[in-house]
Structure 1
Amino acid sequence: MADLVDDDLVDYSEDEEFNEDKLNDEDYDSLYDALPKLNGKVAQYNDQIGDLDLKEALYYNYFNIDDAFNELKERYPKKKQIASVTKAKSNFASPSPDDKVTAAQNRSVEQDMSELKIGTPEKTPTPTDKTVLKNTKPFKKINLPEELTSNETFKKPRKSFVVIGHVDAGKSTLMGRLLFEVGAVDGKTVNNLVRQAEKLGKGSFALAWVMDQTSEERNRGVTVDICATNFETDKCRFVAIDAPGHKDFVPQMIGGVSQADFAVLVVDAIGGEFESGFSMDGQTKEHVILAKSLGLDRVCVVVNKMDKENWAEIRYKEIVSQLNQFLTSCEINFDSSKIDFIPISGLTGTNVAKRDGKIQEFSWYKGPTFIEYLNQVDTGKEAITSDIDTVLQESFRMVVTDVHEISNSDFEITGKVDSGVIQPGETIHVNPSDEYLPIQSITLHEKPINVAVRGEIVSFMFKKSNLKSKSFEDVRRGDILSQINSPVKAVKNFTVRLNLFNMKKPLLVGTPFVLFRNNYSVPARLSKIISIEGGKKKQHLVSKQVATAEIEIRDRPLPLTNYEDTKTLGRVVIRREGITIGAGIVVDL
């Protein structure tokens, strides 16, 4: 099947809209042949669904009655007893004789009790109630500016990046090589992994196993969950996030992107492999679209496996040209000044940490190694020590990435601090579970610290006894921790400015989908179309449109902020039937 060009997409957007007056004779006959049959099925399910919705469902499902009915069931709840319920309500609208007697007795008792003048005793505050009313103080009284300035941990700039790309492009192998070269993994560990991999006939996977640590990942040869690893050079501290490349694990990849400052896109230079990443089923395109939609505005393209192409400059330039055109297109819209390219071999290590002057075929390259690039790339974020006043004025926010039990009495929450600072002893608010928990201790890289600060991935320890529900499992990945005097709002409905991508079929009001905010996903649906850019009034949305719409959450409330208040907590992505169909920013709660 030939790829769609931009003009094709415009035609698709306009022509696929349902307009009964524009139907040809064949479609008109098909519509009115199928409509009575669908009406009969729908009447048994929900007789409140209008004719226009029935016609649109038939049209967009090529007049297949069963498919149209299934779509309507997704969009509308079952209401098969509406009439009987209404009748029952009318039958019992007036009070029965027994009701009248009971009401009179109640009034008499209430009057007698009021004459006794017994006041309602004030509620004795529980420990949790006290926590809500007043924040708890840090265990240690420290001078925060002095602590942040003197702590060696915070003197180096901290950068986080997510490694994305098509499955088998060599992402995990690159990261394994990088960690070995900077000394985060020793030679003994790598040799042990080589022996394990060779026993399973997967010798070339040894470096990837530094990142892929579960038996499933090692047996399948693909990463299935994100893996965040800390390392540092003499100039910077880094968090490297290896995201899964397989299409079945895009939700996990979204979680990885939400923790990063910039993206490292790994592409396979081998003829045919690079192109397959851009096919209809390839993940390179979707990963890049998601990275940009979730706020990453810088990307480093690592052209991997160049050794398999004999370091051919012509092949490298061909890939650079294609990717530059794609990344700067209207569909993606990266700024060309924020796109960088580096040729490497993750397996041999060439140009990861050092050049190999013996490779004559690679003498044409004059740029930096991958590690040199990481050290010098500008992410717009300086060391905390150069921005202390701003950090101290920010409200504390953290997105939960992991929750696990430590002992019978304690549990731990891990996440990336989005803004502000917090200390052991202070109380945080957890939304949407509405818990108020004093922090018992904070660790960074498994070492205790006196303060958690913006940008760091840290772990907090809490007492189970401080939980209202007494179950730490009520706190989930994607929940938001905040200071108790500035909690994040949890909502069931919100307004979003939505950019739609290529869709197989239009998005109608009532259509369900999965909504992502950071690393949290929740079932949701389109509840209202407020406006469509261009002034068009429609009952549905199609590919490439920009619209303002209302979204309804169909699970527990979702913690959100307006995009203008906190960008990282005000972005959402929507997926349907395993495909990313749109992304947007929250404009009203």
Structure 2
Amino acid sequence: MVISFFLPTTFFCIMLSGFQGKTVEVGRAHFETENTRFTILDAPGHKSYVPNMISGASQADVGVLVISARKGEFETGYEKGGQTREHVQLAKTLGVSKLVVVVNKMDDHTVNWSKERYDEIESKMTPFLKLSGYNAKKDVHFLPISGLIGSNMASKVDSKLCSWWDGPSLFEVLDTIEIPPRDPKGPVRMPIIDKYKDMGTVVMGKIESGTIQENDNLLLMPNKAHVKVLAIYRDENKSRRAGPGENVRVKLSGVEEEDILAGFVLSSAVNPVHVVYEFNAQLQILELLDNAIFTAGYKAILHIHSIVEDSEIVELIEEIDVKKKKDADPKKKKSKRRPLFVKNGAVVVCRIQVNNLICIENFSDFPQLGRFTLRTEGKTIAVGKVVALPPPGCSIFAS
């Protein structure tokens, strides 16, 4: 089994780090247990680098949310507008279905492995996790650790340090997490997160669907380049094939490195990924900037798999009344309510347009290529999913 997980924190600075000890880029590392091979995607926790965190989370199956047990530090991240809240919401939106909440710094002299402090943090986090869409009993695991001395990480914490904890260690939790299955026989979908030259053209990414083998003939979209797979690398090891869920490097012929951008998708030639200028989406508005109105003409930065693209709301199609929808009689047809604008908390179906061709899919077909966030001025203002694409052969809807 292969699992990728991300750490939206500054705790694990595995590969690339920036000033003041903060992780800036998404670092990568690997380790294995008896049952599982893990790829660590170390994502930045600082609010200035949320787009980098989005890049890491979009490739992950499991999120490890590291929270400080120190007085004041947890509260700062958890308060309205804090990074802990935004990271949880983004993780769920980006398809991170399982979350491990690690309460760190339990050895700090102000905490001293206090069960009361641990319970306080868990009791405050749980309701918010439920509101964000997580099943707190099935999808979330809480546990205490000390990263500084390595307690309760690879092996269970010593009872002399923490007599009240009888749960598993971090590695034990990670090794038993079940992740949603992907289709190894489906059409190939591998969003490109990076590329470089190394005796040829090499692309990096996570295979979301299908299996890639040496000598496969594929399409690189949206530029429709016919490419051939020369080699596949998992971690540092060469492999003849790789399946869904694996983070890989693929050496290609038929395309130059300078002709590839992050957000391109390595795709089946028979069943290629959709390429569009616009799409219909169901959006949930989280919190708009002060004095902002969400209406046709609203502009924001779209983040979908490894794509970062300027976008504009060109039409509000329908506002969904979530409360009434639950009680609605499916046999009764109701006329759509086409709003002029919507407010915080609204759920709306709208049409979104971008400046450049992008590779996306309907959420119902390929969730990882169909969920996204909208951000403006450094703040996540909406999360959404793709619900309709233009007809085959078209990049825009007919007017």
Flag whether TM exceeds 0.5 (same fold): yes
Structure-2 separation of matches of 1:213 and 1:403: 17
* 3-state secondary structure, aligned to 2:171: helix
**How many Å apart are 1:559 and its aligned residue?**
0.6
2:262 paired with 1:481: no
Structure-2 separation of matches of 1:551 and 1:280: 28
Indicate conservation of the 8 Å contact 2:317/2:339, yes or no. no
**How many Å apart are 1:529 and its aligned residue?**
0.4
After TM superposition, the structure 1 = structure 2 runs for residues 279-318 of structure 1, keeping only pairs within 5 Å, are: 279-308=79-108, 309-318=111-120
User: How has the CA–CA distance of structure 1 residues 461 and 572 changed in structure 2, closer, same or farther, with 3 Å as cutoff?
Assistant: same
2:204 paired with 1:402: no
User: How has the CA–CA distance of structure 1 residues 397 and 537 changed in structure 2, closer, same or farther, with 3 Å as cutoff?
Assistant: closer
After TM superposition, the structure 1 = structure 2 runs for residues 21-40 of structure 1, keeping only pairs within 5 Å, are: none
Q: Percent identity?
A: 33
1:540 is matched with which residue?
Answer: 341
User: How has the CA–CA distance of structure 1 residues 417 and 356 changed in structure 2, closer, same or farther, with 3 Å as cutoff?
Assistant: closer
Structure-1 separation of matches of 2:97 and 2:337: 31
* 3-state secondary structure, aligned to 1:314: helix
After TM superposition, the structure 1 = structure 2 runs for residues 309-388 of structure 1, keeping only pairs within 5 Å, are: 309-329=111-131, 332-337=132-137, 338-357=139-158, 359-360=160-161, 362-381=162-181
Structure-2 separation of matches of 1:356 and 1:513: 46
Indicate conservation of the 8 Å contact 1:256/1:519, yes or no. no
Deviation digits for residues 293-342 of structure 1 (CA, Å, limit 9, x no counterpart): 1222321100000001100111110001001121113xx12112122100
2:219 is matched with which residue?
Answer: 429
Structure-1 separation of matches of 2:64 and 2:251: 32
Deviation digits for residues 331-355 of structure 1 (CA, Å, limit 9, x no counterpart): x121121221000000110111123
Corresponding letter in the other structure for 1:514:
I
1:578 is matched with which residue?
Answer: 378
Indicate conservation of the 8 Å contact 1:500/1:583, yes or no. yes
Structure-1 separation of matches of 2:239 and 2:176: 28
* 3-state secondary structure, aligned to 2:300: strand
2:249 is matched with which residue?
Answer: 459
**How many Å apart are 1:462 and its aligned residue?**
2.2
Q: 1:224 aligns with which of 24, 39, 51?
A: 24
Deviation digits for residues 190-220 of structure 1 (CA, Å, limit 9, x no counterpart): xxxxxxxxxxxxxxxxxx4xx1445xx2x42
In structure 1, list runs of 5 or more residues that go unmatched: 1-156, 173-207, 382-386
Corresponding letter in the other structure for 1:163:
L
* 3-state secondary structure, aligned to 1:250: helix
2:246 paired with 1:445: no
Deviation digits for residues 70-119 of structure 1 (CA, Å, limit 9, x no counterpart): xxxxxxxxxxxxxxxxxxxxxxxxxxxxxxxxxxxxxxxxxxxxxxxxxx
In structure 2, list runs of 5 or more residues that go unmatched: 322-335, 390-399
Deviation digits for residues 510-563 of structure 1 (CA, Å, limit 9, x no counterpart): 121100111211001000001111365421221100011000102x20111111
Indicate conservation of the 8 Å contact 1:501/1:581, yes or no. yes
Indicate conservation of the 8 Å contact 2:316/2:338, yes or no. no
Give structure 1 regions of 4+ aligned residues with deviation exceeding 6 angstroms: none
**How many Å apart are 1:414 and its aligned residue?**
1.2
Corresponding letter in the other structure for 1:572:
F
Structure-2 separation of matches of 1:314 and 1:420: 47
RMSD of aligned C-alpha atoms?
Answer: 1.6
Structure-1 separation of matches of 2:212 and 2:2: 18
* 3-state secondary structure, aligned to 1:492: strand
Corresponding letter in the other structure for 1:265:
L
Indicate conservation of the 8 Å contact 2:15/2:28, yes or no. no
**How many Å apart are 1:234 and its aligned residue?**
1.4
2:332 is matched with which residue?
Answer: none
Indicate conservation of the 8 Å contact 1:563/1:586, yes or no. yes
2:294 paired with 1:507: yes
Structure-2 separation of matches of 1:458 and 1:366: 37
Larger Rg: 1
- With 531-540 and 267-276 compared, the bigger mean Cα shift is at 531-540
**How many Å apart are 1:239 and its aligned residue?**
1.2
**How many Å apart are 1:472 and its aligned residue?**
2.2
**How many Å apart are 1:432 and its aligned residue?**
1.2
Deviation digits for residues 231-288 of structure 1 (CA, Å, limit 9, x no counterpart): 1011211111111001111111111111111211110000000000023452111000
* 3-state secondary structure, aligned to 1:557: strand
User: How has the CA–CA distance of structure 1 residues 521 and 527 changed in structure 2, closer, same or farther, with 3 Å as cutoff?
Assistant: same
Structure-2 separation of matches of 1:248 and 1:575: 12
Structure-2 separation of matches of 1:235 and 1:474: 39
* 3-state secondary structure, aligned to 2:174: helix
Indicate conservation of the 8 Å contact 2:221/2:273, yes or no. yes
Structure-2 separation of matches of 1:356 and 1:260: 27
1:159 is matched with which residue?
Answer: 3
Indicate conservation of the 8 Å contact 1:506/1:543, yes or no. no
Structure-2 separation of matches of 1:358 and 1:571: 43
Q: 2:71 aligns with which of 271, 285, 296?
A: 271
* 3-state secondary structure, aligned to 1:301: strand
1:526 is matched with which residue?
Answer: 313
Corresponding letter in the other structure for 2:239:
I
After TM superposition, the structure 1 = structure 2 runs for residues 38-117 of structure 1, keeping only pairs within 5 Å, are: none
2:283 is matched with which residue?
Answer: 498
Structure-1 separation of matches of 2:347 and 2:159: 53
Structure-2 separation of matches of 1:335 and 1:560: 28
**How many Å apart are 1:576 and its aligned residue?**
1.1
Question: Structure 1 length as normaliser, TM-score?
Answer: 0.61
* 3-state secondary structure, aligned to 1:482: strand
Indicate conservation of the 8 Å contact 2:159/2:165, yes or no. no
Corresponding letter in the other structure for 1:456:
E
How many residue pairs are counted as aligned between the two chains?
A: 370
Structure-1 separation of matches of 2:268 and 2:380: 33
Structure-2 separation of matches of 1:231 and 1:377: 16
**Structure ranking higher in strand proportion:** 2
Structure-2 separation of matches of 1:395 and 1:221: 41
User: How has the CA–CA distance of structure 1 residues 495 and 341 changed in structure 2, closer, same or farther, with 3 Å as cutoff?
Assistant: same
Structure-2 separation of matches of 1:543 and 1:472: 42
Deviation digits for residues 124-154 of structure 1 (CA, Å, limit 9, x no counterpart): xxxxxxxxxxxxxxxxxxxxxxxxxxxxxxx
